[in-house]
Structure 1
């Protein structure tokens, strides 16, 4: 009985961790795609900071440390919630007017820290690890969702008969549906044309966020109409999550390449 009492809280902890960000498979797949598209100069610079660690390995660092007291201030860095119904121009105005802790401001802050010649090596490593993670996060639609439902965490749904919430479903449920490892997923998804790569990497960060915002709006509306998702939900949405992950990986590579150009 004592063993069961010890295991149960641990199981709850693991379950709660799945609600905060793209799951491990997603983040590492995104990071692996990015790694495949780094310039030689960027690879050297990144390796100089990370040492024996790889980009996929450190892609979950920001989630791993957020529960530690000394890093609790980073919790709001993983998402942003703005009011619904905005067009792109309105969204950008609202985004730049929000001076609080959010994924957009955190990304800009970490970029500045990474590029600052006065930053210590430790500060640069920290900034790089967070950049790798945050670019993944902001491509997950419900990290750019509504504040009133905690980015979909309070939206209860069923997926193939099992109860979950829509944030968790998009964090890991859909991503892990096929049972791919992160290397298998990265291999399967890293097939984007050079034309799209150029286009995606030229898009402003505000565009990345607005894309997630628009997708979240669509997904919210679908769930409001019918929250019992059957076997058709995955095939009907798999291309959406696939492209979000592709864009995250390609854009992460472009972001780092520009920093080290």
Structure 2
């Protein structure tokens, strides 16, 4: 157990999908698509805290000395080798984002969980769904989700994971609210219908398919790389926002019959 915990502490950067702005964008998009029933239940749980604010909390809390947070890294990603599906490989003993989503969904729906426990669960659900839409949070098992794939991004030393979770988004020079407004204009009922699915294995399959196409041949990344991939980044942010809302609408509706 000590060895596992030590290894988890060595790999904290793997869990920071989308960075703060990326997660906030997905939470803000989701907020606009919640049912009135889900909105009311969420307000009962976290008060006036927005989903944009809630979305970054599981990363922020990893600085806590509490043992739970010190071993929470695996709850932010899955590992799926090339040409495999999640159901073929499953979760490791320490769990992963899929098992975390299942755990916190059950906690959110529990009739006996405290408000504080439900708040933790809600924040994790929002965060994990965002994580699973970042292609490198469905890692191939060889390079810590692109963290070990070193690149330079506009001459700044970096790695592929950081490029995808933060740098391509930050280089747009938009606040998360501006970015959300730009993306929200693209969302209509047809797109919502196309993207709505609450099956996390579908999200993971999409991420692994993208993941296997984004490793550059040249490790010096300039304008061509974001030109090729920012459309995919934006699509995944939109999909994550739509699916966070759909998932919460479903889970909080089902809560009444469980």
TM range (shorter): 0.7 to 0.9
Q: Is residue 55–residue 132 contact of structure 1 (8 Å, CA) maintained in 2?
A: yes
Residue in structure 2 matched with residue 232 of structure 1 by the alignment: 224
Q: 1:116 to 1:19 in 2, by over 3 A?
A: closer
Q: Does 1:242 align with 2:234?
A: yes
The CA distance in 2 between the partners of 1:141 and 1:192, in whole Å, is 21
Give runs of aligned pairs for residues 96-175 of structure 1, distance below 5 A. 96=90, 98=92, 100-175=94-169
Unmatched 5+ stretches in structure 2: 1-11, 254-258
The CA distance in 2 between the partners of 1:200 and 1:19, in whole Å, is 25
The CA distance in 1 between the partners of 2:15 and 2:119, in whole Å, is 26
Deviation at 1:69, TM superposition (A): 2.7
Per-residue CA shift, 1:131-189, capped at 9, x if unaligned?
Answer: 01111111011111122211100101122222210000001000111111111111100
Per-residue CA shift, 1:76-112, capped at 9, x if unaligned?
Answer: 10111122222xxxx0422546564111110111101
Q: Which deviates the most, 236-245 or 194-203?
A: 194-203
The CA distance in 2 between the partners of 1:192 and 1:116, in whole Å, is 32
Which of 173, 196, 203 is matched with 2:191 structurally? 196
Q: Does 1:48 align with 2:44?
A: yes
Deviation at 1:21, TM superposition (A): 2.3
Q: 1:51 to 1:195 in 2, by over 3 A?
A: same
Deviation at 1:203, TM superposition (A): 5.4
Residue 163 of structure 1 aligns to a residue whose secondary structure is strand
Residue in structure 2 matched with residue 259 of structure 1 by the alignment: 251
Q: Is residue 15–residue 59 contact of structure 2 (8 Å, CA) maintained in 1?
A: no
Cα RMSD (Å)? 1.7
Which of 74, 77, 85 is matched with 1:76 structurally? 74
Unmatched 5+ stretches in structure 1: 1-15
The total of aligned residue pairs comes to: 239
Q: Is residue 21–residue 176 contact of structure 2 (8 Å, CA) maintained in 1?
A: yes
Q: 1:25 to 1:119 in 2, by over 3 A?
A: same
Greater helix proportion:
1
Residue in structure 1 matched with residue 18 of structure 2 by the alignment: 22
Q: 1:150 to 1:245 in 2, by over 3 A?
A: same
The CA distance in 1 between the partners of 2:98 and 2:234, in whole Å, is 22
